[in-house]
Amino acid sequence: MGKKKCVAMLLAGGKGSRLSSLTKSLAKPAIPFGGKYRIIDFTLSNCTNSGIDTVGVLTQYQPLVLNSYIGIGSAWDLDRKDGGVTVLPPYSESSEVKWYTGTASAIYQNMTYLMQFDPEYVLILSGDHIYKMDYSHMLDYHIEKGADATISVIEVPWDEANRFGIMNTTKEMKVVEFEEKPQFPQSNLASMGIYIFNWSLLKEYLEMDARNPESSHDFGKDIIPLLLDENKKLFAYPFAGYWKDVGTVKSLWEANMDLLDEKNQLNLFDYSWRIYSVNPNHPPQLITSEAEVVDSLINEGCTVEGYVNKSVLFQGVAVEKGASVRETVVMPNAVISKDAYIERAIVPSNLVIPEGVVIRPDIGSDEIILVTEEIIKEMQAH
């Protein structure tokens, strides 16, 4: 293996428990998003578009879908002879299986992976977030500042700052303090969970952290505070643009709806920063003469015979005659049968909404329904 300047480690083992049944059988980074993507496509595409060709993907929770989706990385042009994408699941060592107990322990346990490339810098990423970012700019910034570690931050509304890990910085963006979900935030610069470390320093501190039985082995909770304690040079890299952590059913729905805005910041139509994904082979979309499609995002392989308004339809979805789909995200291969009505909902993959069933939130409620077999049965009983 050749020496690499920068190797990315992508944490993709998240469960996303607030996403309820959507993450029952797949990890959060594998959740479908935006009509054809999975959440992890954004970070993987960012890597490719930023010129990073070596990416270790750390999986743990429900890895089957994710593993087969990533494959050898060809969808993101990451099938390389030297480097490329490598899926790194937890493994056993002589006596026991060592599960990843925290973000730092996941990296610590894969130090041998990193050592074979002997990189100058390590980029730590999370596969849970939707955003477009040029990591090469962040790396230039890190080098220019002569930093030991750089953390990407985004300005969040002040009244939400208490939900994030907040970086308190000097005017020069040097980090002086890190506060996890502070009750009284002193800054609104939230950590995006994207870090660049000098590899030699990271190695030293991961080893130190691994020896500490008190540590929870987490970058935010343990490694960053430890570095600050030791007066290391930490800088915050300000990012401006679309960034979303879709932690809940509602935020997942909202992020999908954001794409319907003509001037949305994520702009999937920007060919200079393409979002790559595994392209399933489907015929084009067929919009029949009975259909009406308004203000929606529709993928290949869909057949629309009904009414679709302000919705996102993934590949292979069928909307049958007389059916209405409003403000709804319909995941791959789901079927909205004849005369069914669905509003403000997420329909998971492969689910069939039977004929004539009406699913919508109570009037006045701003709830988003995650449709399940149980909900359908309940609605049919009415």
> Are the beta carbons of 323 and 337 closer than 8 angstroms?
yes
The torsion of the CA quartet 230, 231, 233, 238, rounded to 10 degrees, works out to 100
Angle at CA 32, nearest 5°, toward 30 and 36?
125
> Are the beta carbons of 255 and 130 closer than 8 angstroms?
yes
Among residue numbers 3 through 62, which ones bind other proteins (CB under 8 A)? 34-36
**Secondary structure (3-state) at 139:** helix
Tell the smallest beta-carbon distance from residue 89 to other proteins (Å): 27
Which residue in 140, 180, 204, 295 binds other proteins (CB under 8 A)?
295
In this structure, the chain runs to a length of 382
Phi and psi, residue 51, nearest 5°: 80, 20
Among residue numbers 275 through 294, which ones bind other proteins (CB under 8 A)? 275-277, 279, 281-294
Does the footprint of other proteins cover residue 313 (CB under 8 A)?
yes
Which residue in 159, 262, 362, 374 binds other proteins (CB under 8 A)?
262
Residues near other proteins (CB under 8 A), total:
35
d(CA 172, CA 150): 13
H or E element that contains 10: strand 6-11
Does the footprint of other proteins cover residue 352 (CB under 8 A)?
no
Q: Which of 45, 21, 43, 40 is nearest to 30 (CA)?
A: 40
The distance between the two most distant Cα atoms of the chain, rounded to a whole number of Å, is 68
Which residue in 274, 339, 352, 361 binds other proteins (CB under 8 A)?
274
**Secondary structure (3-state) at 372:** coil
Does the footprint of other proteins cover residue 296 (CB under 8 A)?
yes
d(CA 131, CA 60): 23
- Quick note: the x/- pattern for other proteins over 126-155, rule CB under 8 A, is ------------------------------
Cβ-based nearer residue to other proteins, 34 or 90? 34
Question: Which listed range, 87-95, 100-108, 193-201, 257-265, lies at the site for other proteins (CB under 8 A)?
Answer: 257-265
Tell the smallest beta-carbon distance from residue 307 to other proteins (Å): 11
Phi and psi, residue 154, nearest 5°: -135, 145
Tell the smallest beta-carbon distance from residue 326 to other proteins (Å): 14
DSSP secondary-structure letter at 378?
H
Tell the smallest beta-carbon distance from residue 345 to other proteins (Å): 19
Does the footprint of other proteins cover residue 268 (CB under 8 A)?
yes
Cβ-based nearer residue to other proteins, 112 or 289? 289
Tell the smallest beta-carbon distance from residue 248 to other proteins (Å): 23
Does the footprint of other proteins cover residue 256 (CB under 8 A)?
no
Question: Footprint of other proteins on this chain (CB under 8 A)?
Answer: 34-36, 259-260, 262, 268-269, 274-277, 279, 281-300, 312-313
